[in-house]
Amino acid sequence: MDSVSLPPSSQAMSASLTIPLGERSYPILISAAGPSALLQQPLPKGTAALIVSNTTVAPLYAPALQQVLAGHYPQVHSVTLPDGEEHKNWQTLNLIFDALLRHGCDRKVVLYALGGGVVGDMTGFAAACYMRGVAFVQLPTTLLAQVDSSVGGKTGINHPLGKNMVGAFHQPQLVLCDLSALDTLPARELAAGMAEIIKYGPIADMQLLAWLEQHMDALLARDRQALAHAVKRSCEIKAQVVGADEREAGLRAILNFGHTFGHAIEAGMGYGQWLHGEGVAAGMVMAAELSQRLGLVEAAFVQRLRALIARAGLPVRGPVLDATDNAGRYLELMRVDKKAEAGAIRFVLIDQPGRAVLRAAPDALVREVIDACCAP
């Protein structure tokens, strides 16, 4: 299990935990002190740093980070990517390689991912591939990235035929979740992050679910004490799962609760139309509904989850992807999901509240769920 320490002076507003991966272990810092919180830890040594950010985040945070890093690296470069899931592709990834080579960066360069999940996934993948692997640090600036994508070493880009189809497992050296970065996060993206926090309840911790029911208003009001607890507990659960199954041989797949349906929604609508967290939100309702129809959970559990998701301002119904055969289109998209094997879709279902299981389901039942759960 991960080690958790709370400095007494800062109460719940600052914490650190460790992703337990042997020689690839690394700390996650949770703080509201801005990029200077990095100084709590020894930074990875290097001949240069490259800050990778996007057009939205760079103007807000890159100068402060630049200042912190200037004291640690002989050179600090930066590259700014276009913002949005629709840019998570080869063309954008190449901007990072172009910058690295233009500045003559060698194998001792350290990449700093400053942004949300898209920036983190692409920076991590660039770090995995540049000269066959260099170090990187995650500074997630969205709630979703703080509680999910920045932790665990999954990196990659999308392909027109599927999300995250090309990538690598590459662990960062350090993750800093800066809660102050959430102050400027649009409400829609805050809600999208909430979907990944809610996820940890049904799959691992019903106490967290109950806590979220009590504190959803505080979280949406960006109360830092509440956010600190939600981020820390989410990272703890993720750390435990990733530590037990780094390369998704089994257990780790439970973190994809809601994602099989969610990825179909994202791909079917065109990347960027639905936020990842929004797809996961509607996808969790569908996966819970499927669990119920398979006799695993009660209707009351599904209703409880649906209500919490709705309170977070998230969609509880999926979109219609095809007017003629909507369920068929969902199934088609889900069969190319990475968890599928020989065309058989493996769903993350809720075995009992607080516990997830990976299994197949009859197409007919999945069609029923899609028909019942999609608007209008």
**Known catalytic residue at 224:** no
Looking at the Cβ atoms of 96 and 316, the one nearer to its own copies is 96
Looking at the Cβ atoms of 106 and 217, the one nearer to its own copies is 106
DSSP character at residue 325: -
Take residue 22 and report the two structure tokens written for it: 């042997």
Q: Taking a C-beta distance cutoff of 8 angstroms, is the pair 367, 331 a contact?
A: yes
Looking at the Cβ atoms of 323 and 342, the one nearer to its own copies is 342
Q: Taking a C-beta distance cutoff of 8 angstroms, is the pair 246, 170 a contact?
A: no
User: Catalytic pick from 77, 170, 238, 293?
Assistant: 238
Q: What type of residue sits at position 148? A: D
Looking at the Cβ atoms of 13 and 345, the one nearer to its own copies is 345
Minimal distance, residue 158 CB to its own copies, in Å:
11
User: Catalytic pick from 54, 158, 164, 256?
Assistant: 256
Cα dist from 192 to 76, 77, 102, 229, 309, whole Å: 32, 31, 36, 17, 10
User: Catalytic pick from 77, 232, 263, 304?
Assistant: 263
Minimal distance, residue 268 CB to its own copies, in Å:
15
**Known catalytic residue at 87:** no
User: Catalytic pick from 87, 259, 338, 346?
Assistant: 259
Which residues does residue 4 pair with via DSSP β-bridges, in sequence order? 17
Which residues does residue 49 pair with via DSSP β-bridges, in sequence order? 76, 110
Take residue 236 and report the two structure tokens written for it: 């703890």
> What is the C-alpha to C-alpha distance for residues 32 and 243, in angstroms, rounded to an integer?
26
Looking at the Cβ atoms of 206 and 336, the one nearer to its own copies is 336
Minimal distance, residue 311 CB to its own copies, in Å:
34
Q: Where on the chain is the footprint of its own copies (CB under 8 A)?
A: 47, 74, 90, 94, 97-98, 101-102, 104, 106-108, 128-133, 154, 156, 159, 161-162, 165-169, 247-248, 335-336, 338, 340-343
Minimal distance, residue 256 CB to its own copies, in Å:
13
DSSP character at residue 286: H
Query: What's the number of CA atoms in the CB half-sphere (13 Å) around residue 355?
Result: 4
**Known catalytic residue at 263:** yes
Minimal distance, residue 171 CB to its own copies, in Å:
13
Minimal distance, residue 96 CB to its own copies, in Å:
10
**Known catalytic residue at 276:** yes
For 329, counting Cβ atoms within 10 Å of its Cβ (0-12 exposed, 13-18 middle, 19+ buried), the class is middle
Looking at the Cβ atoms of 276 and 304, the one nearer to its own copies is 276
**Known catalytic residue at 213:** no
Kindly report the length of the chain.
376
Q: Taking the CB of residue 373, how many other CB atoms lie within 10 A of it?
A: 21
**Known catalytic residue at 132:** yes
**Known catalytic residue at 238:** yes
> What is the C-alpha to C-alpha distance for residues 175 and 363, in angstroms, rounded to an integer?
40
**Known catalytic residue at 154:** yes
> What is the C-alpha to C-alpha distance for residues 140 and 146, in angstroms, rounded to an integer?
5
Return the active site residues. 132, 154, 196, 238, 248, 252, 256, 259, 263, 276
